[in-house]
């Protein structure tokens, strides 16, 4: 069975060259065609881009060394939605065309989740999602925990969810800088804690919004082992039982909705956290993720954590690749 990493990140060179020549909200402080690392800056945070972020030969060597067969690529922060509308759409199409070319040219080693023009109200993201999935053959799409301060339960995204529900293609929720980031701007707390808190807020809003009951075939993949959702799920259900506001739009306890519509990636390498994630979501709903090649990511450790801390051989095989293979039809 193939080992499949569903949480890792790649910036196509066409995208990086565009940012380098035409800096906007996102900007580079070095030439991406150069040999060294460069920084990608955006509001509230930055990423250090190493070879694995932009050069496939380096990435493939790292995958082979870690024993990973397939990477499901994503663009990651800051996303295209931080730019002006016309540029945003052009960047999304550019990234997705490049992802599709990578999938074709390296048969069996890569798939991808589409970058989407989420900053535009209405159907633009839905149209690009459908193009990416049906014309380009990508595995699904990515949304962020907030989009310019708007959370993903907002009805402006429901055209996208309707399309994903009809196509039965998953949507990966990746965190970004929280909408009110001031307290997170020191000590890299955006990456350390802000990402997790913002993902948890997004998941909670989705669960209570009625979105998951409205679209029965909609599936989300939640980054970083679901952030803190497995830890606070019982509290969500207590809130559903006692707060009328939490029952206005749903008839099912939120933890049940999350469990029936969501998968978790394994980007939390603590064995106790991994056990909690498996206990919450179930063995068929956790998938290998590494956060490679970010500074805080670790592909060998991600694989090792599953092999060392998941005792049941069947569950271990499912997490390392079986679950992703079934969901993404790989």
Do 36 and 49 form a contact (C-beta atoms < 8 A)?
A: no
**pLDDT per residue rounded down to tens, the chain (330 residues):** 899 999 999 999 999 999 999 999 999 999 999 999 999 999 888 999 999 999 999 999 999 999 999 999 999 999 999 999 889 999 999 999 999 999 999 989 999 999 999 998 779 999 999 999 999 999 999 999 999 999 999 999 999 999 999 999 999 999 999 999 999 999 999 999 999 999 999 999 999 999 999 999 999 999 999 999 999 999 999 999 999 999 999 999 999 999 999 999 999 999 999 999 999 999 999 999 999 999 999 999 999 999 999 999 999 999 999 999 999 999
Largest CA distance in the chain: 58
Please say whether the beta carbons of 149 and 169 come within 8 A: no
Query: What residues contact 157, with CB distance under 8 A and at least 6 apart?
Result: 118, 125, 143, 147
* Per-residue pLDDT tens digits for 72-131: 999 999 999 999 988 999 999 999 999 999 999 998 999 999 999 999 877 999 999 999
Q: What is the pLDDT of residue 120?
A: 83
What pLDDT is stored for residue 86 in this prediction? 87
Q: Quick one: pLDDT at residue 177?
A: 93
Query: Looking at residue 45, what is its pLDDT?
Result: 87
What percent of the chain stands above pLDDT 90?
A: 96
- For the chain, the residue count is 330
With residue 155 as reference, give the H or E element that holds it: none
Would you call 292 helix, strand, or coil by DSSP? Answer: strand
Q: Is the peptide bond before 78 cis (omega within 30 degrees of 0)?
A: yes
Domains of the chain: 4-9+65-328 (3.20.20.140)
pTM of this prediction exceeds 0.85: yes
SS3 at position 228? coil
Distances from the Cα of 225 to the Cαs of 7, 172, 217, 314, in angstroms? 11, 12, 21, 20
Q: Please choose, from the candidates 223, 211, 212, 226, the residue with its C-alpha nearest in 3D space to the C-alpha of residue 296.
A: 223
- The closest of 183, 111, 148 to 25, measured between CA atoms, is 148
């Amino acid at each position: 069975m193939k080992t499949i990493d569903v949480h890792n990140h790649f910036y196509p060179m066409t995208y990086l060259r565009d940012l380098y020549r035409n800096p906007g909200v996102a900007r580079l402080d070095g030439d991406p065609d150069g040999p060294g690392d460069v920084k990608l800056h955006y509001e509230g945070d930055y990423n250090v881009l190493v070879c694995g972020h932009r050069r496939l030969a380096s990435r493939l060597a790292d995958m082979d060394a870690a024993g990973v067969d397939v990477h499901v690529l994503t663009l990651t922060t800051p996303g295209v939605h931080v730019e002006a509308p016309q540029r945003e759409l052009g960047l999304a199409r550019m990234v997705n065309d490049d992802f599709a070319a990578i999938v074709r040219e390296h048969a069996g080693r890569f798939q991808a989740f589409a970058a989407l023009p989420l900053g535009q109200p209405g159907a633009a993201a839905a149209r690009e999602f459908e193009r990416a999935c049906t014309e380009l053959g990508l595995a699904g799409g990515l949304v962020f925990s907030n989009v310019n301060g708007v959370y993903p339960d907002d009805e402006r995204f429901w055209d996208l969810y309707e399309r994903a529900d009809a196509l039965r293609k998953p949507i990966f929720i990746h965190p970004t800088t929280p909408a009110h980031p001031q307290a997170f701007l020191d000590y890299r707390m955006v990456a350390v804690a802000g990402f997790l808190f913002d993902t948890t807020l997004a998941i909670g809003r989705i669960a209570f919004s009625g979105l998951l009951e409205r679209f029965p075939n909609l599936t989300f993949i939640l980054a970083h082992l679901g952030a803190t959702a497995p830890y606070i799920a019982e509290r969500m259900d207590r809130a559903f039982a006692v707060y009328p506001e939490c029952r206005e739009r749903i008839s099912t306890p939120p933890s049940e909705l999350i469990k029936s519509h969501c998968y978790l990636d394994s980007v939390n390498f603590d064995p106790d956290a991994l056990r909690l994630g498996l206990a919450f979501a179930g063995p068929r709903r956790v998938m290998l993720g590494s956060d490679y090649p970010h500074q805080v990511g670790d592909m060998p450790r991600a694989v090792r954590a599953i092999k060392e801390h998941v005792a049941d051989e069947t569950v271990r095989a499912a997490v390392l690749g079986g679950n992703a293979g079934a969901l993404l039809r790989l």
